[in-house]
Structure 1
């Protein structure tokens, strides 16, 4: 069981809006998924998952930087579970906490790269 949410809640999060999911492939090896949507006024990152064997190699950072670049100055919004180590990555990439609930921080940044 995961801290904060149940396994069933986690599966529901994975399956929600699956059509927005994109496979992350490095050297022809799938290493994770990114789920995001571009809206009229902002970009929403709904999920970023990197397989445990490929974590801490900079892939998550590179994916987020690509989203920032493609956002073309739109704000980027995401939520992150409070116990998720990715919180530090998001802060380093310029995301700030704008709100929170019992389980998640709501974060946002503005794209600064063109």
Structure 2
């Protein structure tokens, strides 16, 4: 990927962008899972741990959302949404690879969840995430830290 990826902390001024992004990227998966897609529920999902939200900038233009919680022993990818116009170009893989490399260097596990109807699960599996649990709608996945697990990237 021959572009510059940067991040900036999300603010209340980004709510409109994030609402539009979430409707485009997640509501189809929620609908396929028979989960609510109304505006109020969507806003609640945006506001969940909003202090950990970062706008993904691709060449200084908004391209998505990364909501991440970095704890002492684990990094949790709470939300990763790539604008549909940027999907399929390696942006999500690049972002996740950076997260995995940083966590592996610190000996941390990386955790995330993915709706069973979301094809992003195949990206996560290809990066070395393993399903550790599931419920009716989601797979809960982890990547165990260590450079040996990154050798295929």
- TM-score for both structures, normalised by structure 2: 0.70
Residues 1:6 and 2:59 aligned together: no
Partner of 2:135: 101
2:121 to 81, 87, 93: 87
Which structure dedicates a bigger proportion of its chain to strand? 1
Q: What CA RMSD, in Å, does the superposition of the two structures yield over aligned residues? A: 1.6
Residue 7 of structure 1 aligns to a residue whose secondary structure is: coil
Q: Distance between the aligned counterparts of 1:51 and 1:16, measured in 2? A: 19
Which one of the candidate residues 60, 68, 81 is aligned to 2:100? 68
SS where residue 111 of structure 1 aligns? Answer: coil
Gaps of 5+ in 1: none
Looking at structure 2, the residues matched to 38 and 59 of structure 1 have their Cα atoms a distance apart, in angstroms, of: 21
Query: 2:62 & 2:146 partners in 1: Cα distance?
Result: 29
Q: How far apart are the structure 1 equivalents of 2:123 and 2:43? A: 24
Alignment gaps of 5+ in structure 2: 1-26
Q: CA 1:105/1:10 → structure 2, altered by over 3 Å: closer, same or farther?
A: farther
Q: How far did residue 69 of structure 1 move?
A: 1.5
Alpha-carbon separation, structure 1, partners of 2:51 and 2:83? 20
**Equivalent position to 1:23, from 46, 55, 68:** 55
Offset, 1:111: 2.9
1-side partners of 2:43 and 2:141: how far apart?
22
Q: How many equivalent residue pairs?
A: 114
In structure 1, C-alpha distance between the alignment counterparts of 2:146 and 2:43, rounded to whole Å: 33
Residues in 2 aligned to 1:104 and 1:10: alpha-carbon distance in whole angstroms: 17
> Whose radius of gyration is greater, 1 or 2?
2
